[in-house]
Structure 1
């Protein structure tokens, strides 16, 4: 099987709030925007889509606070990334930890989706 592109999507009933959070977090406008339906950001080689499920499908996409999935973002300066999240009103609840690949911290978007920001060695 050959793949041409990979797209990660986040479903939300809080479309405007989540899109605005990612506009501020990523410091870019969506490359594709259909108001109240779909927004897509291009982050290096990853496409991140945010969509509002149709009303009859919303229960399928209910936020699970124990989701095993994380959006991992490698940053060049972890302290600056933490300051940026704090300025958006979503400070990371824990402390910086050291992992095999560098330093990292967990944070959460307005819907409670886990973000892992890490700075490589």
Structure 2
């Protein structure tokens, strides 16, 4: 198999709210961006995050992100700065700082309930 790139995609019926959250979180505009349909962020480190609005016949399939086993993990230089930014966005961490095998981390959730893990080594 030959491949060119890897994407993580998130489906959201409330796509514009989610786009605004990630736009503020990653401090960049999506590119490409098709209003109310698709947005893509090229995140430092090489990951691309795509956000799309599912078709009406797909909405049930994507309706419970809280039950997903997948998390978006973001390694940050300063965990306290990440916490301050999440607080400013109105989506504060749901845990205190925890010590994991790879360093310190916190959990938070985006507007749709997708789990975010922020960690620093």
Whether TM exceeds 0.5 here: the answer is: yes
1:36 maps onto 2:36 in alignment: yes
Provide the rounded CA distance (Å) in 2 between the counterparts of 1:117 and 1:34: 28
Q: Is the 8 A contact 2:40 2:51 kept in 1?
A: yes
Which residue in the other structure is 1:17 paired with? Answer: 17
| Equivalence for 1:99 | 100
* CA shift digits 1:13-55 (9 cap, x unpaired): 0111000000001110002100000000000200000000111
What is the aligned length? 120
Q: Following the alignment from structure 2 to structure 1, what is the Cα–Cα distance between the partners of residues 31 and 58?
A: 25
Q: Does 1:58 align with 2:47?
A: no
**Secondary structure of 1:56's aligned partner:** helix
Q: In the alignment, is the contact (CA less than 8 A) between 2:18 and 2:111 conserved in 1? A: yes
TM-score when normalising by structure 2: 0.96
* Unpaired segments ≥5 residues, structure 2: none
CA distance in 1, matches of 2:24, 2:64: 22
What TM-score comes out, normalization by structure 1 length?
0.96
Between the aligned partners of 1:75 and 1:27, the Cα distance in structure 2 is 14
Aligned 8 A contact 2:95 2:106 in 1: yes
3-state SS of 2:17 partner: helix
1:109 alignment partner in structure 2? 110
- Matched-pair contact (CA < 8 Å) for 2:12–2:62: yes
